[in-house]
Amino acid sequence: AGMAGAFLMEIRRATQSALLVIRYAAAELPSAPVEVSVCADSLEVRSGGSCDAAALPAGVTLAPSSCRGLRRLRGDGLHLRVRLRRPPPAADVVFALRESLKPNKNYIFYCQSCGDIVVNDRKFLRVLPLPSENWSDLVEEWCCHPDPFARKTLHPQHGDCFVGDTFFLLNSRNESHVPESPKSKENTRVICKRCKAMLGETVSSGTIKYYVTEVIIQSTEGSFSPTPRSQFVQSIVAQCLLELSSAKSTFRFTIKGDNGKTYILIWLLNSDTLLVESLGSSSSHSDFTLFGDILTPSSGPVGTWNALKVLYQPCIQCRNKELADAWEDDMGVHPLKFPSETCLELLLILGLSTTSLPPSLRCMNSFQVRTASF
């Protein structure tokens, strides 16, 4: 058995601390003694005649004298904790759903799955945020008289774009892919003409809803650049969680499909995590790579990602029904709606990420653990 040359470091900016996990290609430790050297800007592991070393990314500086808690966990490898000399640079989050569109600019909407143009050269005179989907449930707390908003809906006019938590509302005008007179729930689905992926749904005869996970929006001056589907979905959902937790101080979410079913319960643990991963040798790549083939390192053999850490519970096939019902009745839980197919994709992404973590880090109480980049 030899070293795989792979490690995972989970850094918390708020506490300036890090958990370091050094993995082995084999399930058991080698018979020769293992020497781990932690330097301010690098890691080195020696065993027998082999030596594996990796330089840490710029901005990550350790305090070697603070190493503590070294232990071996079967199936994981070696764990130890270490302090940072200074916190890494703050995450530069420039994307915001509510700021991705600007008035008086021309935009093109592309199908994220195949790149086909969905909305061509549209100029918005007004870009306005919508209240949360469950806003009407709070009206009784706001008003001392009958609900003044009852039976009233918000529909964009020509030149309007309304921005929700997970969707954009547009005036449908004469879009050819929009059903003219939907007669059933199935007929309201807006489908990409090329790849038949669901892009959104018609809200009324003049209004269409596009989900943020299904379209890529770029100004007419730019060019379309495709993004792998898994990477795009996890990035968009992570950004939704980050924005809502910052704006509303809510940390529990239900992921619902357009069919009304609850697919996933998500509990946001933290958003100050920086992940540093060494891919090691090619033989260890399938053994220990945080995102598998979803993401690749930013440069060289060591990758860094800003990440959210979440707990989640799947709710398909009536799993966790009692917990899902309790969350449904809790005003502190925020619902997020996506196409049902995307909910299943997200559940698969969550599962793949969980299985790529060391076994000891995969669960917390009855929840499964997952990290998502943004």
- 3-state SS of the chain? CCEEEEEEEEEECCCCEEEEEEEECCCCCCCCCEEEEECCCEEEEEECCEEEEEECCCCCCEEEEEEEEEEEECCCEEEEEEEECCCCCCCCCCCCHHHCCCCCCEEEEEECCCCCEEEEEEECCEEEECCCCCHHHHHHHHCCCCCCCCCCCCCCCCCEEEECCCEEEEECCCCCCCCCCCCCCHHHEEECCCCCCEEEEEEECCEEEEECCCEEEEECCCCCCCCCHHHHHHHHHHHHHHHHHHHHCCCEEEEECCCCCEEEEEEEEEEEEEEEEECCCHHHCCCCCCCCCCCCCCECCEEEEEEEEEEEEECHHHCCHHHHHHHHCCCCEEEEECCHHHHHHHHHHHHHHHHHCCHHHCEECCEEEEEEEC
CATH 2.60.40.790 domain range(s) in the chain: 1-89
- Of the chain, the end-to-end C-alpha distance in Å amounts to 36
Cα Rg of the chain (Å, integer):
24
Number of other CB atoms surrounding residue 25 within 10 Å: 18
Evaluate whether 262 touches 15 at the Cβ level (below 8 Å): no
CATH 2.60.40.790, applies to 1-89: yes
pLDDT per residue, tens digit, the chain (374 aa), is 334 457 889 999 999 999 999 876 554 555 667 788 999 999 888 877 778 888 888 889 999 999 999 888 888 888 999 999 988 887 765 555 667 788 999 999 999 999 999 999 999 999 998 877 666 666 666 777 776 666 667 789 989 999 999 999 999 865 655 554 454 555 689 999 999 999 999 988 889 999 999 999 998 887 788 889 998 999 899 989 998 998 888 999 999 999 999 999 999 999 899 988 876 533 333 333 333 333 444 445 778 888 889 999 999 988 999 999 999 999 899 999 999 999 999 999 999 888 888 888 888 887 888 676 65
Give the dihedral of Cα atoms 22, 39, 15, 86; nearest 10 deg.
-150
- Count how many residues are written for the chain: 374
The CA-atom distances, in angstroms, between 342 and each of 335, 337, 347 are 15, 10, 9
Which residues are paired to 63 by β-bridges?
83
